[in-house]
Structure 1
Amino acid sequence: MIAPRPYRSTPVFDEETLPAALRASHSTKAGTWGLIRVIEGELRLTFPETGRILLLAPGKPGQVNPGEIHFVTPLGPMKMQVDFHSLPPLSA
């Protein structure tokens, strides 16, 4: 599963440097898809409006659609990065 190239990426965050804004409910802007990639460890991706919860790990990224409210929770030591795309990065 290969995603198209992102137009922007965050720095790599770990469980200590993960910003509070990503741990709280937020959404991507219109026309922007987020692809959350875990480099090490595990991360929980929660969509509070639907109750959907995904467990992300290396090789198991999580896609966030434009305007979709979500937040992440580290599950112990981890490293992650968010890539931003103008088209859906993963096929359904």
Structure 2
Amino acid sequence: MKRPDWPVDAVPYRRTPEFDETTVPKGLLRAHSTRDKTWARLHVLDGRLIFRDLIDGAELVLEPGIHPLIHPQRLHEVAILGSVRFFVEFCVRPGDSPPRT
């Protein structure tokens, strides 16, 4: 499956709190996806973690400054590599309503 291009007009509407290796929600460590029309960026602030795209099998080691683009409804997961601090930023395109949480 070809990934759609990241929309240049996507804007942030919400972000998670900062997580670390002890506070990361268990749901992020197993297969999950964003909602329809919801894009996301993962921001590593300190340390490293692994990002896995479960559709194409791609695996990236993330460090500060590397922000994978998470496409709507695409299965993925993360794995912790020691001490880490990160958050997730959710984006939506103009005209698409942010999902209710």
Query: Where on the TM-score scale, by shorter chain, does this alignment land: which range?
Result: 0.7 to 0.9
Give every structure 1 segment of 4 or more consecutive aligned residues whose post-TM-superposition deviation is greater than 6 Å.
none
Alignment partner, residue 84 of structure 1: 90
Identity across the alignment (%): 37
TM-score (norm 1): 0.87
Structure 1 residue corresponding to 2:54, chosen from 36, 41, 48 = 48
Residue 72 (structure 2) pairs with residue 66 (structure 1): yes
Q: What is the CA RMSD across the aligned residues, in angstroms?
A: 1.5
Residue 40 (structure 2) pairs with residue 23 (structure 1): no
Answer with 1 or 2: which has the greater Rg: 2
Say how many residue pairs are matched. 85
TM-score (norm 2): 0.79
CA distance in 1, matches of 2:38, 2:11: 13
Quick check: 2:49–2:78 contact (8 Å CA) kept in 1? yes
Gaps of 5+ in 1: 88-92
